[in-house]
Each structure stands twice: as C-alpha cells, then as structure tokens.
Structure 1
Amino acid sequence: MDVRPSRRGLAGIGTAVLISLPMQHGRDPVPPPSPAPTAAPAVGASGEASGAVSLPPLLAGTFIATVKTWDTTAADERIGHARAASLLLDAGVRWKSTGDCGDRRRPYCTSLEAIRYGTLMRTIDLRRDSGCPVTVTGGTEAGHADGRYSHGNGYKVDLAHNRCLDAYVTRTYRYWRTRGDGAALYRPPSSDPDPDRDPQAGPDEWFAVWADEPTHWDVLFR
C-alpha cells in the first residue's frame, strides 16, 4: 500500500515549531547542566585509594589546638608580667592600672608578675566563654589581703564591672553567701559537693569564687 505523508500533519508540526520559537525570546536553547566532576578518591599513607574523605591530620590537629586553649597541668606555673600582659592582649583582655604601671611593690599599680598561669588562662577563658569585655584592674601588686589563695600568691584577679560581665556572672554562678565586708559571693553550682565548705579549705582544679565589690569583681581562680 502506498503511504503518503499528510500535509495536514506536516503543517501541524510546522505550526507547532512556529509557535514555540517566540518563547525562546531570541536566545539559543540553554544546554542541560554538565554532570558534577567526580572527586578523586583519597589516597592513604599506604598508597591505596579510599572512598572516604577525611580531614588531613595536620589540619585536624590545628583545629583541635584552637579549641584547647591551654595545658591545665601547667596551672601552678608562675609567669612574668610582660608575658602575662601579652597573653591577655592577644586574647582581647584589657589590663588597666590607676598608676599606669606594673610595679608589684606599689599598690596603685596593676602587676601580673608571678601570677599563676592557670589564673591568667581562666581569665582568658572567661573572655571567650562570656563574650563580654574583660578588664583586669588588680593582680599580684601590694595592698591586697594576705593568705594562701591571695592576690600576692597569684590566685586572684580584680575584674572591672560592666553590664555584660555582671549579668554573665550572676546568671552562670549561684549566690553562696555574704562576705564579712558585705560583698556578695558567687561560685559555680557544681564546684563542690559541700556548698558550705570554705574556699581556703583545699585544692579544687576548677574552683572559683566571685566577690561583688563596689568597683570590681574580686575573683579567686584555683
């Protein structure tokens, strides 16, 4: 049987083409997106390819180092004023003295000479954890009360009041009791199973007491 193409069919096709062409707005048809390139398999130390992609050991170690800020086993080491001031500055912690000096023998200076490394680093941790401005206004200089866990022995710092820091301390720590001079004392809620134990009674790696004095927080880090 002789099969002839239908003019109506061809005209229909032509019409469809003519109708669809204006929809391109004069631009060439957009080609389909190319498939994403296949990543090369990671090669382990043995030279064998592995399907799992892992962080390079050097980069991973660098990341971990930025999270762990200091070695707690060195907490009782004593450091000099210049190094301590440099560590504070690098961490965004201010150091302020009414006499604009760091002489440990003068009470109007703010000295960091022979401060405990742990005390200094926990001050830096406070800046990072709270996100608040932190300004050290008192350290190991003369003029503070004596005692085993005192300013002079490197266990205490004075930190200037500011709205952010005040809110952080009273929100994070719990009221403990009122000191003899009227200062309200705050301490971590889980620092000691005995809430009435005196802070001078014995060692505790993460023990802290915050005394709310008129111009600053008098802070014991132990």
Structure 2
Amino acid sequence: MDVRPSWRGLAGIGTAVLISLPMQHDRDPVPPPSPPPAADPGVEVRGEVSLPPLLAGTFTATVKTWDTTAADERIGHARAAGLLLDAGVRWKSTGDCADRRRPYCTSLEAIRYGTLMRTVDLRRDSGCPVTVTGGTETGHADSRYSHGNGYKVDLAHNRCLDAYVTRTYHYWRTRADGAALYRAAPSDVWADEPTHWDVLFR
C-alpha cells in the first residue's frame, strides 16, 4: 500500500520544530559588570571607614578645645570667670572678692588666655574637682613668670587632684621653702604648698 505523507502533516511537524527551538537574539549577551579598579596607593580615598571589631574603640584622640596661638592674649576677669564656670572649674577667695589690688581677693583680671585654658584642660584630663584660689591679685612674689603677669594660678588641694599630680607628673626637686616641685612639661611647674598647688603654666 502506497502511503504518502500529507502536506498538512508535514507543515505541523515543521511548526513544532520551530516552536521547540530556543529563541535567538540579534544582540550580543550583556557581559557581567567589571570589578571596580584597584585603588591607586598614591590617591587618597575619602569615605566612611569601618574598623575591625578588635581595633574599634582602641584609639584615643586628643582634641584641643582652644586656640593655642592666642595663649599670650590677656583677658578680663568676667570673661575668664565665665570660661571657668562653663568648664566646671570653681574660683573662690578668702575675702569673697575679685579686686586685683587686694591680696585677700582672687582676681583673674589680665590673666593669660593660655594659663586659663590649661586650667580648663586639667579639669577635663584629670576628671578631678578644680578650684582656683589665686590668680593675678597683688601679694604674690614678683618674677617674669609670676601670678601678676598672668602665668600662675593657685589650685586648692583635694585628694583626687593631689593623686593625679603626683601620679602623672615627675618629682623634680624641693624648693627653698620646703615645697616639693613637680614638672608637668619642660616649662610647667607644680609647687606643693600647704593649702594649694602653686602652678606655673607657660
């Protein structure tokens, strides 16, 4: 028996083959994104930096809170007292006064800005109560780096401050009047007097 394929059947087979073939695109496939270029070691990269857990929190930054180039500027009592108050530093006098011409007063008139701000730094660095009991008032010894010239302050003794000074600074020598001297820096001297620390900030 002669069996001849039907044209209609062949057309159906061709259609099925075409449908089963994957569709082709004229466009080339999109390549995967390239990795970012390696950083040039000579170029500074700005942005947020995350420290590894073992390093996070192990760095301490020392931040200056005042302009050291203005250290020799002289400031008035009201401004000086305000700066101390803002920093949590007290000042007091036996005469409850601030007249620079009276030795029983505590005056900050014409004190060096650097001397005052070093006192503020001490309060922050030590964490101790700090009370100024002597400033630029008359009655102190005269010298180039004296109270009257704005380089020195008297700070009341207290257990916290005494421990901080003797632990942090180096014993230097004993003064002629018996006061032990400690050096905080090549030019800073703390004298341990009976009722207070006589402090030179240069």
* TM-score, normalising length: structure 1: 0.63
174, 195, 198: which one aligns with 1:215: 195
Shift in CA distance, 183/53, structure 1 to aligned 2, threshold 3 Å: closer
Number of residue pairs aligned between Structure 1 and Structure 2: 145
Residue 141 of structure 2 is matched in structure 1 by 145
Q: Give the secondary structure class of the aligned counterpart of 2:109.
A: coil
118, 122, 126: which one aligns with 2:118: 122
RMSD: 1.6
Shift in CA distance, 53/218, structure 1 to aligned 2, threshold 3 Å: closer
Q: Give the secondary structure class of the aligned counterpart of 2:181.
A: strand
Structure 1 residue 67, shift from structure 2 partner: 3.5
Q: Give the secondary structure class of the aligned counterpart of 1:67.
A: coil
The runs of at least 4 aligned residues of structure 1 exceeding 4 Å deviation read none
73, 86, 102: which one aligns with 1:90: 86
1:1-222 equivalence runs, <5 A: 67-188=63-184, 191-192=185-186, 207-222=187-202
Partners of 2:101 and 2:140 lie apart in 1 by: 11
Q: Give the secondary structure class of the aligned counterpart of 1:125.
A: helix
Letter in 1 for 2:179: A
Partners of 2:64 and 2:190 lie apart in 1 by: 24
Letter in 2 for 1:185: L
Q: Unpaired segments of 5 or more residues in structure 2?
A: 1-46, 50-61
Partners of 1:167 and 1:151 lie apart in 2 by: 24
Partners of 1:182 and 1:105 lie apart in 2 by: 28
Partners of 1:116 and 1:79 lie apart in 2 by: 7
Show CA shifts across 1:4-52 (max 9, x none). xxxxxxxxxxxxxxxxxxxxxxxxxxxxxxxxxxxxxxxxxxxxxxxx5
Structure 1 residue 68, shift from structure 2 partner: 2.5
* TM-score, normalising length: structure 2: 0.69
Q: Give the secondary structure class of the aligned counterpart of 2:121.
A: helix
Q: Give the secondary structure class of the aligned counterpart of 1:87.
A: helix
Q: Compare CA radii of gyration and give the structure with the larger one.
A: 2
Structure 1 residue 136, shift from structure 2 partner: 0.1
Structure 1 residue 53, shift from structure 2 partner: 5.3
Q: Unpaired segments of 5 or more residues in structure 1?
A: 1-51, 55-65, 193-206
Show CA shifts across 1:176-218 (max 9, x none). 0000110000002xx33xxxxxxxxxxxxxx210000000000
Show CA shifts across 1:116-168 (max 9, x none). 00000000000000000000000000000000000000000000000000000
Partners of 1:157 and 1:53 lie apart in 2 by: 44
